[in-house]
Structure 1
Amino acid sequence: MCNFAPVEFERIWDAVEDHVMKHWNVGRGKKSVNAPKDILFMTLAALKHCGSWETASTMFEMDLSPFQKMVKKFVTMLDPCLYQIFVLDEEERSTTRHLTLTGNTFANFPCARYATDVTFQQADRPVGGYNDAKTFFSGKHHLYGLKVEVSVIPTGVAINCTDWEKGSIADISIFRANKQFHTSALQKRPGEDTINDQGPQADRYQNDWAVFVDKGYQGLQDEFRTIQPKKRAARGPPLTADERSESDRISHDRVLVESYFGRLKKLWGVCSHKWVWDRQTYNMFFRMCVALTNFSVRCCPLRREDGEHYLRYEARLIKLDLDIEEAKRLKRQRARDSRRARLELHTRAAIRPANTSSRRSSVGSLTRGDSDVSTDFGS
């Protein structure tokens, strides 16, 4: 019900118990009648099943408004602690030296510290004019939504995630905006200069480790030590066999971050369903899900099924786009059919009086002609 076995849930509670007891139900104001441990369980269940607050509140037979307020307040209190324990502390422990000594480096490129990519989540169209709304529209997915950049080390846990960005922002722009983290995380620490480093651009970036990115980050190699598949130039010759082989080796290592996204989307409905809540709370919910996903990876390492789940998630976004486009097409077709029908009615209404008047005039002329004939005959 909460994605974790009882033993795993107890481990999470042991990690955060001191923080919760120190910061929950303190100060002035009305106190919660539920035990903190029970609220933690409710929160995990809400993150897993939350397509809407009604779904989660019904599971625990609570009214919607009190349940929503309680969970939001609890997440606000717990998010910094979980993110520190399972994300930031992991980044400090998992240095390149530690990963090398424990044999947990990337298979093909041991010189890479982590892999970075951006995940997209559909959201409601923002209220306001077109100029305000279009900044949330992703040209890749053809949907309104939010983007977050996540960096994953070879052990399969994330060591950083950014605040959300609008859907129209390019992935490479998000990377550059997160320059402070990347510069610090990629820098070689004392004692790591003795580690064998024969990877790409080792001569140019002697004091930095590398980072995996995808084809969409072309040009970033001038600012950071990146490892990325080669992109075929527009109208250029096809890639050579060696270039395709090198791209396959890179993709084999970089796929780890996509597997992480698959685990994240599979565990937490709040990160995979359409985001309909307040965007101001998105960062804390997403960070908490990242921290809990790190704990899940520590208990059960990433597998191929996680990557396949992320591919299904991406396919679902594509289907949503196709369904929306089909609905728009049918709407336009109905509008054209309705307009055509109205024009035909107006045309018929305009023709009918003209035909009636012409028939009346012809009947009148025939009547006058008959009277003339009879008069002449009588004379």
Structure 2
Amino acid sequence: MPINANAVLSRLQDQSIRDQSFLKSSLRESRHQFEHHPYALYAVDVKFQPSLRPTGRFAKQKHYYSGKHGMYGYKIEATVSPNGRCVAMSESHPGSVHDFTIMHSRQEVHKAMLMKNQQDMLLPDHGELSAQYREQWACLVDMGYIGIANTLRGIHPKRCLVNGVLDASDVERNRLISSDRVIVENYFGRVCALWKASYATFTWSEKNYCAIQRTTFALSNFHLSLIPLRLEDETFYGMVLARYERMANEKKRKRAETQRRYRLNRQERAALDHIVFIFVKLCNT
């Protein structure tokens, strides 16, 4: 009997990524809460992966170029629970789409996931934005999501103003948020450590990207049920990001070298043309 790969993938996702039944109950178990933000249901971040330069017109190509990473690629938003499991994923987006835009386009999904049930409403919740969003749990995001609190109960670090400084309480608050939110980077590190297809330059068709990433995330969830997240996962993800930075810098260096050689050759041709012009002029006289 032939194996239906799509059916297997769908079943795998149902059991690992789409199964959010433990999200609500995790808030009632201390071991499945964020240490400094027990009222937060999950943390959100976007994973970037470089790809080959798309074919076609430049207007289409630049849509996939990430100015932050200096490369063409794709982005996927991942939602990670306090126990280190990916419980939701977005579709793939071109590299130029901002992280905030991706989350804003999925605000209805996040509202449904963060909504409290009747039992949750009985639990004490005196955390940030609890007065504004009485019927929602919070989610942890990074500084790139400033403004998300207008539509969701998103907790993000405070940005320092230009020529300003943060006071001690704001610095401590930012540290605590980053301390809890780092679980997303740990998860990305585990995915990248297990699957090279999740961090190497993606060379296949774009239509296959989302299915491949969902498969690696689902299998990583199963792996996490056997071996929990560790500090080494964050370290590995940092190495992946450093690799992306080196790749971008190398591309910039090669481009600058190409432009330098072009300018030098142009100057040499101009000088040669000038010499020929003078020689011809002297011969004619």
Structure 1 length as normaliser, TM-score?
A: 0.72
1:313 to 240, 249, 261: 240
Residue of structure 1 equivalent to 2:217: 290
Residue of structure 2 equivalent to 1:228: 156
1:204 to 122, 129, 132: 132
Residue of structure 1 equivalent to 2:36: 108
Structure 1 residue 357: Cα displacement: 5.3
Q: Is the 8 A contact 2:77 2:102 kept in 1?
A: yes
Q: Give the distance between the partners of 2:54 and 2:111, measured in 1 at CA.
A: 34
Structure 1 residue 102: Cα displacement: 5.1
Q: Match of 1:129, as an amino acid?
A: R
- Equivalent pairs: percent with the same residue? 29
Q: Deviations over 1:111-147 (max 9, x none)?
A: 0000000010111121111111111111111111111
Q: Give the distance between the partners of 1:311 and 1:148, measured in 2 at CA.
A: 18
Structure 1 residue 293: Cα displacement: 0.6
Q: Give the distance between the partners of 1:141 and 1:98, measured in 2 at CA.
A: 35
Residue of structure 2 equivalent to 1:87: 17
* Residue ranges of structure 1 left out of the alignment (5+ in a row): 1-23, 26-35, 37-73, 359-379
Q: Give the distance between the partners of 1:98 and 1:310, measured in 2 at CA.
A: 26
Q: Give the distance between the partners of 1:269 and 1:353, measured in 2 at CA.
A: 63
Choose 80-89 or 110-119, whichever is displaced more.
80-89
Three-state SS of the structure 1 residue aligned to 2:76 is strand
Q: Is the 8 A contact 1:136 1:168 kept in 2?
A: yes
Q: Is the 8 A contact 2:27 2:38 kept in 1?
A: no
Three-state SS of the structure 1 residue aligned to 2:173 is helix
Three-state SS of the structure 1 residue aligned to 2:31 is coil
* Residue ranges of structure 2 left out of the alignment (5+ in a row): none
Q: Match of 2:181, as an amino acid?
A: R
Matches within 5 A, 1:174-189: 174-189=102-117
Summarize the Cα distance change of 1:343–1:236 in structure 2 as closer, same or farther, 3 Å threshold: closer
- Structure with greater proportional helix content: 1
Q: Deviations over 1:302-334 (max 9, x none)?
A: 111101111111111111111011000110111
Q: Is the 8 A contact 1:147 1:165 kept in 2?
A: yes
Q: Is the 8 A contact 1:265 1:271 kept in 2?
A: yes
Q: Is the 8 A contact 1:116 1:152 kept in 2?
A: yes
Matches within 5 A, 1:50-199: 75-89=5-19, 91-92=20-21, 94-101=22-29, 103-199=31-127
CA RMSD of aligned residues (A): 1.5
Three-state SS of the structure 1 residue aligned to 2:139 is strand
Q: Is the 8 A contact 1:76 1:284 kept in 2?
A: no
* Count of aligned pairs: 285
Q: Give the distance between the partners of 1:188 and 1:296, measured in 2 at CA.
A: 29
Matched, 1:280 2:210: no
Q: Is the 8 A contact 2:75 2:93 kept in 1?
A: yes
Q: Is the 8 A contact 2:107 2:152 kept in 1?
A: no
Q: Give the distance between the partners of 1:213 and 1:124, measured in 2 at CA.
A: 29
Choose 242-251 or 172-181, whichever is displaced more.
172-181
Q: Is the 8 A contact 2:26 2:33 kept in 1?
A: no
Structure 1 residue 101: Cα displacement: 2.4
